[in-house]
Amino acid sequence: MTDKITDLFGIDVFNDSTMKERLPKKIYEALRKTIEKGEELDSNVAEIVANAMKDWAIGRGATHYTHWFHPMTGVTAEKHDSFIHFTEDGEVIMEFSGKELIKGEPDASSFPSGGLRATFEARGYTAWDCTSPAFLREDAAGVTLYIPTAFCSYTGESLDMKTPLLRSMEALSNQAVRVLRLFGNEDVKKVNVTVGPEQEYFLIDKNKYLQRDDLIFTGRTLFGSMPPKGQEMDDHYFGNIKERVASFMKELNIELWKLGVTAKTQHNETAPAQHELAPIFSTANIATDHNQLVMETMKKIANRHNLACLLHEKPFEGVNGSGKHNNWSLVTDTGVNLFNPTKKPHENIQFLLFFAAVLKAVDLHADILRLSAANPGNDHRLGGHEAPPAIISVFIGTQIEDILAQLVKNGHATSCQEGERLNIGVHTLPWLKKDAADRNRTSPFAFTGNKFEFRMVASSMSIAFANTVMNTAVADVLSDMADSLEGVKDFDMAVAELLKDTIIKHQKIIYSGNGYSDLWVEEAEKRGLPNLKSMVEAVPAAITDKAIDLFGKHNVFSEVELHSRSEILYSSYSKTINIEAKTMISMTNLKYIPSVIKYTSMLADSINSVKKALPGADISVQTELLSKASSLLKDSKVAVYNLEEILSKACSKCTECEKANYYKDKVFPAMDKLRVPIDELEKIVSKEFWPVPTYGDLLFEI
């Protein structure tokens, strides 16, 4: 089995070893230079690579290729073309040119552009991203060659998630190299961002899923009350994996391994029916592409097992929702993890400076980081008592905390706390070395040994934007640090001062207490940390002068691109809530109300027939139920009228910002009001009359 898996891994990827095997040595080396050093790609090289790629793909049964890109819809897009060409003699040949590899021309007008389209042409281009390997995918349409690409408008504005990410990786590398030079690292040419995203998801029975319009149209349940058992027994987290789920996981792993995705860890999560998959980390853009593949493959494989995979952040009210933990670090092209504290972190000034740079970056740009985790689904989680609060703070652990305290007090640190030996009290068990710091699950941003873990990211979202923000914010701080250190006479003195000064100014972002507590909200306010409770409140962070300067300086987003993105965010919020509201209205009118009417008629019939059969019999139970159900029925009708009315007033001529605020402040509360009587009815209406599967059916019966 192990041998087979090693044979299987990456079998569908045009990866380094395949390229080495199939490309002339010179061409292979030229391509590696582009991939590793970011050198420009020669068109002759592209021509030969395209041909080799085509031969490889056709040899594996491919008939089509597609430029695969990440428009701002959150999901990936693809348009398939066959390799078929006709010769002058009218013969059919399979061909793929360098031009076709490098450039595609999908019509950009059907993808979100946030106003860019009004000013610019509808034409769009996709450009080959050779830093993320091409791969094959097989489905009912046959085998297709997927080529990861960046997507931009006719005038070069980015219309996707990948372009800014690649730009930010370059910016960060440039600035990190500058700082490393100051520490005498002459051999480092490039610094890579490494990312490992942990993906949470729910699996439910497909037949039950298909009976719920809310799940089909919105990805979450808009109604539903908790079953007698929720997650209070904590028996699901790391619990035994059910047979049906296990067979899903097995197939998922194999499928992902074939695509070169390093699926590594899998376990049950906190909520019933909730699970997690974590890959081994890779460079940020490959991790981003792979995370999209993970999400798409999860859905596809679930289907094969008659399951539905829910990636929504909050599919069920009252049970934990899903997130994505974005593990982030920096590693040099010489293989050094810049956030490895080493044995003596207190003496490792380079580590401490990079560490302080992250603290400063997170403190200065907490608002934009918060935005990078914002989507309508995550509004249900952040700040709830399950997910990190909407306030950004950093957990750094006792070991580093102690070192920073020494630095602040004395200007230097002379000691560090070590992980002790853990005494389990049983001699036959091996002795374990304790980590130098405990974990804190309530922190939105935590230093976990040799990487930072951003835990706010939404489960259904691309990780591209979160990493783009991280990279740019850190690049900017490193650039300031390099500016102030380059050319100083006494480097050791200057760096010590800079370190101390940075920590003093930005230590307010450090917090190791319970992030779920109300006290923290008060404390954070005193510290002046932003608390952006909802997505709509977070969007303005994208277009502040601070954000425009930051992203502009490092060529990650132009001002025009930032404005277009904020428009897209607002409008995607409004559209999401609009679909949810309309789904609630239709479910209420077409399912719940008719079912409850049937139920009340049954009760009324029973009252009448019992009375007739046995005059004077006790009919108080039926009567009380009938009266309660009828009154909740009325409440439901009133609430649905109200929601319809409010929805009809959503103005179409307002700005996207005004519209989004209307949906948040008016439509959303009206949806909540409608949910209340329906969820009450679910508790009293006989199950045989209830028109949809309940939480109990969905969460516990697979």
Question: How far is it, in rounded angstroms, from Cα 300 to Cα 76?
Answer: 14
Pick one of 18, 73, 417, 450: the residue that binds ligand ADP (CB under 6 A). 450
Q: Is 468 in the site for ligand ADP (CB under 6 A)?
A: no
Question: How far is it, in rounded angstroms, from Cα 592 to Cα 600?
Answer: 12
Q: With CB cut-offs between 5 and 8 Å by kind, which of ligand ADP, Mg ion, none does residue 379 bind?
A: none
Q: Residues touching Mg ion: how many (CB under 5 A)?
A: 1
Q: With CB cut-offs between 5 and 8 Å by kind, which of Mg ion, ligand ADP, none does residue 279 bind?
A: ligand ADP
Pick one of 258, 290, 381, 451: the residue that binds ligand ADP (CB under 6 A). 451
Q: Is 317 in the site for ligand ADP (CB under 6 A)?
A: no
CB of 76 to ligand ADP, least distance (A): 21
Pick one of 279, 341, 388, 515: the residue that binds ligand ADP (CB under 6 A). 279
Binding-site string for Mg ion from residue 273 to residue 312, where x marks contact by CB under 5 A and - marks none: ----------------------------------------
Nearer to ligand ADP, 257 or 281 (CB): 281
Q: With CB cut-offs between 5 and 8 Å by kind, which of ligand ADP, Mg ion, none does residue 376 bind?
A: none
- In terms of phi and psi (left: phi > 0; alpha: psi -120 to 50; beta: otherwise), the region of 556 is alpha
Question: How far is it, in rounded angstroms, from Cα 74 to Cα 471?
Answer: 20
Residues 252-271 within binding reach of ligand ADP (CB under 6 A): 265
Question: Which candidate, 169, 173, 367, places its Cα nearest to that of 284?
Answer: 169
Tell me the residue nearest to Mg ion as measured from the CB. Answer: 325
Q: Is 231 in the site for ligand ADP (CB under 6 A)?
A: no
Q: Is 66 in the site for ligand ADP (CB under 6 A)?
A: no
CB of 450 to ligand ADP, least distance (A): 5
Tokens of 379: 């509004």
Nearer to Mg ion, 304 or 439 (CB): 439
Neighbour tally for 328: CB within 10 Å: 26
Q: Which stretch binds ligand ADP (CB under 6 A): 274-282, 406-414, 416-424, 588-596?
A: 274-282
Per-residue exposure over 106-118, b if at least 16 CB sit within 10 Å of its own CB, e if not:
bebeebbbbbbbe
Do 301 and 251 meet the contact criterion of CB atoms below 8 Å apart?
yes
From residue 260, alpha-carbon distances to 134, 214, 254, 691 in Å are 10, 34, 10, 43
CB of 170 to Mg ion, least distance (A): 27
Tokens of 93: 């040949």
Do 425 and 419 meet the contact criterion of CB atoms below 8 Å apart?
no
Nearer to ligand ADP, 440 or 630 (CB): 440
Question: How far is it, in rounded angstroms, from Cα 260 to Cα 538?
Answer: 36
Residue with tokens 């009567």: 623
Do 470 and 454 meet the contact criterion of CB atoms below 8 Å apart?
yes
CB of 195 to Mg ion, least distance (A): 13
CB of 415 to ligand ADP, least distance (A): 25
Question: How far is it, in rounded angstroms, from Cα 153 to Cα 678?
Answer: 47
Q: With CB cut-offs between 5 and 8 Å by kind, which of ligand ADP, Mg ion, none does residue 450 bind?
A: ligand ADP
Binding-site string for ligand ADP from residue 329 to residue 368, where x marks contact by CB under 6 A and - marks none: x-------x-------------------------------
Q: Residues touching ligand ADP: how many (CB under 6 A)?
A: 17
From residue 622, alpha-carbon distances to 678, 683, 690 in Å are 19, 15, 17
Residues 111-140 within binding reach of Mg ion (CB under 5 A): none
Nearer to ligand ADP, 185 or 283 (CB): 283
Binding-site string for Mg ion from residue 318 to residue 337, where x marks contact by CB under 5 A and - marks none: -------x------------
Pick one of 202, 209, 248, 281: the residue that binds ligand ADP (CB under 6 A). 281
Q: With CB cut-offs between 5 and 8 Å by kind, which of ligand ADP, Mg ion, none does residue 345 bind?
A: none
Question: What three-state secondary structure class fits 531?
Answer: strand
Q: Is 149 in the site for ligand ADP (CB under 6 A)?
A: no
Pick one of 278, 284, 461, 532: the residue that binds ligand ADP (CB under 6 A). 278
CB of 339 to ligand ADP, least distance (A): 7
Type of residue at 576: T
Q: Is 506 in the site for Mg ion (CB under 5 A)?
A: no
Beta pairing class for 445-447 and 452-454:
antiparallel
Residues 189-228 within binding reach of ligand ADP (CB under 6 A): 194-196, 198
Nearer to ligand ADP, 297 or 600 (CB): 297
Residue with tokens 């954070």: 524
What element of type H or E holds 328? Answer: strand 324-332
Question: How far is it, in rounded angstroms, from Cα 149 to Cα 158?
Answer: 12
Q: Is 484 in the site for ligand ADP (CB under 6 A)?
A: no
Question: Which candidate, 501, 505, 481, 479, places its Cα nearest to that of 491?
Answer: 481
Q: With CB cut-offs between 5 and 8 Å by kind, which of ligand ADP, Mg ion, none does residue 245 bind?
A: none
| DSSP labels, 358-420 | HHHHHHHTHHHHHHHT--TTGGGTTTSTTS--SB--EE-HHHHHHHHHHHHHHSS--------
Tokens of 30: 């030229």
What element of type H or E holds 67? Answer: strand 62-69
Q: Is 280 in the site for ligand ADP (CB under 6 A)?
A: yes
List residues near ligand ADP by CB under 6 A.
194-196, 198, 265, 278-281, 327-329, 337, 448, 450-451, 453
Residues that bind Mg ion (CB under 5 A): 325
